[in-house]
Amino acid sequence: MPVAHFVRRSVPLLSGVLLLTGCAADDPSPPPSSQAGAGGHPLEIDNCGRAVEVAEPPRRAVSLNQGTTEILLSLGLADRMAGTAGWTDPLPGALDEANASVPRLADNAPSFERVLDAEPDFVAASFASMLGTGGVATRERFDELGVPTYLSPADCVGKDNSGGGDGARTEAFTMEAVHGEVRDLARAFGVEERGDELVAELEARAARATAGIDASGVTLLYWFANSESPYLAGCCGAPGAITEALGAENVFDDTREEWPQINWETVADRDPDVLVLGDLTRRSQTSESAAEKIAFLQAHPVTRNMTAVRNERYVLLSGQAMNPTIRTVEGMERVAEGLRAFGLAE
C-alpha cells in the first residue's frame, strides 16, 4: 500500500454509485485463545531471508500494521496481544469485540519506546517500512533485545523495497503469500489448526467470488488517494491479484511499481471502464474518502468526460482490501459484484 495510506469511511449511497458491502456471514467470529503448550517450540521460521527463532508461543505480541493485527485476531489470539498500531480501516464486525481488549499503541507508526513499554515478546508487521530505517526500529535492533520479529512475506518475497515510494514487484503477488503468513503466525503461536481453517475459508470465499465470472476486456483503475498526484495501482500488487482473478485488465499493468503516482492526463488517455476507489478514513492527503474522490473526478476538466465517470461506474474498497492482506479476498468479492451489477461481467 502507499505506506501512509489509511482507509475507510462509509459514505451515503450516491446516485449511480455502487457502495458494496462485505459478506458479513463470511467473517468468522474469532475463537478465544487456548493456553498453548510448548509443543513444537522452540521453532524456527524462515521469514524474508531471516531465520526467526521463537522459543515459546508468544504471550505479549505487538502488531505494527492492521494486516497482521487482523490475522492474529482472526486466529483468536487477542488475549496474547500487548498492542496494535498502523490502522487504516474499521475492522470487520466479527473482530470488534476481540479487538476492544487489545491496547492501541498508535493509529499510525508508534515510537520504538512506546512499543518497548508494551514489553513485547514478538513483533509482527505488514510492511518493511515499519521494521526498517526510518520506521519503528530495524529488525536488528529488536534482535539485540531478544524480541523476534516477523514481516509479511507479501512485502518482501518478489518485491524490491530498496528504491523510493512503495516499492516495485519483481514477481506478481498472489494470495499464497498471505496464506503462508497465516500459517507462519499460527505455527508461531501454537495454533496451527486455526491457521489451516482460516486459509481454507479464504480459499473458499475467493472461489465463490470468482466462480463463473467472465470480465475479459473490461478495464479497471485502482485509485488509493491524493488528487494532485494520485497513487494508482501498478500491475502486480493486491489489485493485480483481484484483477487477474476476475479476468479483467488493469489499465496500468505496464508498471511494476506498487503504487506509482501518475498524472490525470495519462489516466484520461487510458480511459478505464470502471474506477475502484479507496474509501479512506485518515486525513493525511487530499481526496481520501470515496465521496471526495468522486466529487473531484466529476469536476475536473480532464477526468469528468472519462467513460467510468460519465457512467458513474465506481466500486468502493477499504484500504485493507487493496493491500496484500486477508481482506484482499473482500476486494475480489466487491469488484466481482460491481462488474456484474454494471453489466460488464457474467
Residue 288 has pLDDT above 70, yes or no: yes
Residue 309 has pLDDT above 90, yes or no: yes
Q: How confident is the model at residue 30 (pLDDT cuts 50, 70, 90)?
A: low
Residue 6 has pLDDT above 60, yes or no: no
Q: Are residues 185 and 246 in the same domain?
A: no
pLDDT in the model for residue 4: 40
Domain membership flag for residue 68: yes
What percentage of residues in the chain have a pLDDT greater than 70? 89
Q: Are residues 149 and 35 in the same domain?
A: yes
Q: Are residues 237 and 302 in the same domain?
A: yes
Give the model confidence (pLDDT) of 199-252 as tens digits.
Answer: 999 999 999 999 999 999 999 999 999 999 999 999 999 999 999 999 999 999
**β-pairing verdict for 43-47 and 50-54:** antiparallel
Q: Are residues 66 and 188 in the same domain?
A: yes
Instruction: Select from 207, 226, 253 the last residue of a domain.
Output: 207
pLDDT in the model for residue 141: 98
Instruction: Select from 172, 187, 207 the last residue of a domain.
Output: 207
Q: Are residues 165 and 292 in the same domain?
A: no
Q: Which amino acid makes up residue 201?
A: E
pLDDT in the model for residue 1: 52
Domain membership flag for residue 12: no
What average pLDDT does this structure show over 286-300?
A: 94
Can you give the residue range of the structural domain that contains 285?
A: 213-341
Instruction: Select from 207, 236, 260 the last residue of a domain.
Output: 207
Domain membership flag for residue 9: no
Q: What CATH number has the domain bearing residue 227?
A: 3.40.50.1980
Give the model confidence (pLDDT) of 131-152 as tens digits.
Answer: 999 999 999 999 999 999 999 9
Query: Mind spelling out the 3-state secondary structure of the chain?
Result: CCCCCCCCCCCCCCCCCECCCCCHHHCCCCCCCCCCCCCCCCEEEEECCEEEEECCCCCCEEECCHHHHHHHHHCCCHHHEEEECCCCCCCCHHHHHHHCCCCECCCCCCCHHHHHHCCCCEEEECCHHHHCCCCCCCHHHHHHCCCCEEECHHHCCCEECCCCCCCEECCCCCHHHHHHHHHHHHHHCCCHHHHHHHHHHHHHHHHHHHCCCCCCCCEEEEEEECCCCCEECCCCCHHHHHHHHHCCEECCCCCCECCCECCHHHHHHHCCCEEEEECCCCCCCCCCCHHHHHHHHHHCCCCCCCHHHHCCCEEEECHHHHCCCCCHHHHHHHHHHHHHHCCCCC
Q: Are residues 245 and 160 in the same domain?
A: no
pTM: 0.89
Contacts of 5 (CB under 8 A, 6+ apart): 88, 224, 225, 231, 259, 278, 280, 282, 285, 319
Q: Are residues 119 and 37 in the same domain?
A: yes
Whether omega before 42 lies within 30 degrees of 0, making that bond cis, reads yes
Cβ atoms within 10 A of the Cβ of 309, count? 21
Q: Are residues 171 and 98 in the same domain?
A: yes
Choose among 55, 42, 3, 35: nearest CA to 237. 3
Q: Are residues 228 and 188 in the same domain?
A: no
Domain membership flag for residue 145: yes
Domain membership flag for residue 255: yes
Domain membership flag for residue 328: yes
Q: Are residues 195 and 219 in the same domain?
A: no
Q: Are residues 269 and 163 in the same domain?
A: no
Domain membership flag for residue 157: yes
Give the model confidence (pLDDT) of 233-248 as tens digits.
Answer: 999 999 999 999 999 9
Give residue 340's Cα distance to chain centre.
24
Total domain count, the chain = 2
Q: Are residues 120 and 219 in the same domain?
A: no
